[in-house]
Amino acid sequence: MQGLMDVQTAFTLYDYLFLRRVNNALNNCGDNGIIQPQKIYCALSITSPRTRHIFSPEERQIYLAAVILVQGYYVGQTSYLTPIQLIGVAYIYNYFSDYELPYNDGYVEKVDFIRSVQDGMLPSIYNPLVVDQIFEGMEALDFFALSQSVYGFRTYLANSSPDAVNPQLKTMNLAQLTTLAAQFPKRLQSLINNSDVPVQANIEAASTLYWQLNTNPDDLFLRNFNNLIFLQKKKKVHQVPQSTILKAASMTFTPGLPLFFGMMSVNGFVDLKTFLRFYRFSSMYLEFDPNTS
């Protein structure tokens, strides 16, 4: 089921009935096999009979979630939904409807998600260990966040290998991340390949501005660097030898994907929760960056 996971080998009765409704929606609301944004309510009222009326701004948000589900990032690719995109967003909308959650202010908690897997509403590939990583640092997921997490998990599965210690989990190495990065939007690829690591002067300036750390010059650099990375304020540290400070100040980094991989990986591998954090933040960056292309 492309809506939530495209690695299933068989459909459940729930999936079959849902796909029948999607086909009906395409026949009644589509135009030559595509769905225009203004026809999203028409389609969802068929795939999820209990849906309330959806107004124009909400249709736009659901449309963006549909693009994210299949393509991961929205950079103005299309002005309509393909059948696959409709299946994806309608499946999640149907899931929200089953819980009687309004798409715009409803939240799915981890216990709800796990129960849905147990009830056969969601694929069994979402085992409790996976769900824990998807919800890492997040108390609940709204409609858009769930759509985004689904894409991130599906992408991670397709570009990772079974973990050597726990076969229920997977890990990603640098070669796999490199292959995946070639599919990123060009703007994100440019950002990864040309990102500069802050020099000492930038770190000290940021630390002074945000954490008011402007004393004890002997250990200023490492102290500021520590606070900048871990967002800690005025943490007491032991005296640092001048030779260590000079060595740290002269460190250089080569921009590129290996730099990002080094920040993400543990023992040479990236786990799901770390990859999702990278994906969510890069997606947010592209949304905020006016130069997105």
pLDDT at 265: 84
- Is 272 inside a domain boundary? no
Give 189's Cβ-side CA count (13 Å radius): 11
* 64 shares a domain with 122: yes
Cβ burial of 140 (10 Å; 0-12, 13-18, 19+) is: middle
- Which phi-psi region, left, alpha or beta, contains residue 56 (left: φ > 0; alpha: ψ -120 to 50)? alpha
pLDDT at 177: 94
- Is 69 inside a domain boundary? yes
- Is 190 inside a domain boundary? no
Contacts by 199-204, CB closer than 8 A, 24 or more apart: 200/249, 203/228
Distance CA 91, CA 86 (A): 8
pLDDT at 3: 45
pLDDT at 231: 46
Distance CA 1, CA 3 (A): 5
- Is 241 inside a domain boundary? yes
Region 115-141: mean pLDDT is 79
pLDDT at 260: 85
Structure-block tokens of residue 47: 């795939």
- Is 154 inside a domain boundary? yes
* One-letter identity of residue 97: S
pLDDT at 159: 92
pLDDT at 52: 67
Residue 248's contacts (CB-CB under 8 Å, 6 or more residues apart) are: 221, 222, 225
Confidence of residue 172 (pLDDT cuts 50, 70, 90): very high
Please identify which residue in the block is written with the tokens 């997606």. 283
Region 65-81: mean pLDDT is 81
pLDDT at 115: 80
Region 116-131: mean pLDDT is 77
pLDDT at 233: 47
What are phi and psi for residue 225, nearest 5 degrees?
-60, -40
Confidence of residue 140 (pLDDT cuts 50, 70, 90): confident
Range of the domain at 222: 200-249
**Averaged confidence pLDDT in the chain:** 76
pLDDT at 180: 93
Specify the DSSP class assigned to residue 93. H
pLDDT at 196: 63
Q: 31-70: per-residue pLDDT in tens?
A: 888 888 888 888 988 888 766 677 777 777 888 888 888 8
Give the total number of structural domains in the chain.
Answer: 2
Region 250-273: mean pLDDT is 82
Distance CA 142, CA 134 (A): 13
* 241 shares a domain with 123: no
pLDDT at residue 124 greater than cutoff 90: no
In whole angstroms, how far apart are CA 143 and each of 25, 90, 140, 207? Answer: 21, 11, 10, 36
Confidence of residue 219 (pLDDT cuts 50, 70, 90): low
Specify the DSSP class assigned to residue 218. G
* 211 shares a domain with 145: no
pTM of the model: 0.71
- Is 135 inside a domain boundary? yes
3-state secondary structure of 140: strand
Region 83-108: mean pLDDT is 74
Structure-block tokens of residue 264: 């993400």
Distance CA 203, CA 217 (A): 14
- Is 2 inside a domain boundary? no
pLDDT at residue 167 greater than cutoff 60: yes
Percent of the chain exceeding pLDDT 70 equals 69
* 107 shares a domain with 20: yes
